[in-house]
Amino acid sequence: MTFGAAITDAEGLRLTDNERALFREMNPFGFILFARNIDSADQVRALCDDFREAVGRNCPITIDQEGGRVQRLRAPLAREWMPPLDHAERAGEQAERAMYLRYRLIAHELFELGIDSNCAPTLDLARAETHAFLRNRCYGDDVDTIGKIGRAVAQAHLVGGVLPVVKHMPGHGRATLDTHFDLPLVNLPLEALQDTDFAPFRALNDLPMGMTAHLVFGQIDPLPATISPEMMTVIRDVIGFDGLIMTDDISMKALSGSAAELSRQAIEAGCDVVLHCNANLAERAEVLKAAGQMTDLAQARAERALAMRKPPQELDIEATEAELSALMGGQVYER
């Protein structure tokens, strides 16, 4: 069965009849959840079942559950975490282990609700000028630290039965604008980026899925990376990433054009899957049609990614929390 080359969402807590019919016809690769889709544990499980029944398979269901400002699941369904950068800095030399434990608990919470993917780790290199919308979501300000923590975060997801999605490729840390509203420009040559912003992604280029950045790398190509064939070549050949590439949400204001046009441009540039969020049913239908079916190469990458989705290993929650608390000096969660 060839998958549709899109990841989409639902308007509410359960699928409507029209949504079911659309998803059954278009067979999107997977789905993403937002706060509006979350009420209770039983409801989230039922919605995940709705998605999978609509497409007739065990499709991936993802979410943004970084912890801190970006976490769709909140108490009482999930732990309330401090921002990732604060967590890593507080843990100090134990950051790699502490972040592994943090995301192992997150993966457990997700899997218990039927969610089997998460848009993490964030491998963007934090700088003083990094826009506030992103900065405290990063793991550090040096390549080696980010690579080690990113690997630990990815492994925590995989042993928890959850597929990680590395973001934002090929690197978002130099953005001084919020891509939800504006299009940032990075005006540096490829040589200056290879051993800095691009390096953490190269270190984790074996992971199953990655998400693009809506940035212009002006000395490489004037188009935003998400719709740039040149930047897709950088991701594939310079970074060496051969996993499934999904766009960041194409409804973000950094990109110009209709959702259908952007979908076609992203696929033509070399993205495997279009992520489209927060639209009405008619626009979702337009995107699903514009994205079309996966290419043979995209399908192969999708199947490789799904093959990495394994049953979770057993987790001793009490022991995990105790170890994490000891590493963090007792301050583990947001207060």
Provide the annotated active-site residues.
Answer: 180, 248
| Separation CA 335–CA 317 (nearest Å) | 21
CB 250 within 8 A of CB 275: yes
- Which of 97, 104, 27 is closest to 65 using CA atoms? 104
Q: What are phi and psi of 238, to 5 degrees?
A: -85, -50
Amino acid at 87: H
The answer to whether 277 and 34 are in contact (CB under 8 A) is yes
Contact assessment for residue 217 and residue 225, using Cβ atoms and an 8 Å cutoff: yes
Query: What are the E-state strand segments in 59-177?
Result: 61-63, 65-67, 70-71, 117-118, 163-169
Count of C-beta atoms within a 10 Å radius of residue 164: 28
Task: Calculate the alpha carbon distances from 142 to 12, 57, 126, 289 in Å.
Answer: 40, 41, 8, 41
- The sheet that has 244-246: what strands, in order across it? 117-118, 163-169, 209-212, 244-246
- Site of tokens 């207060």: 335
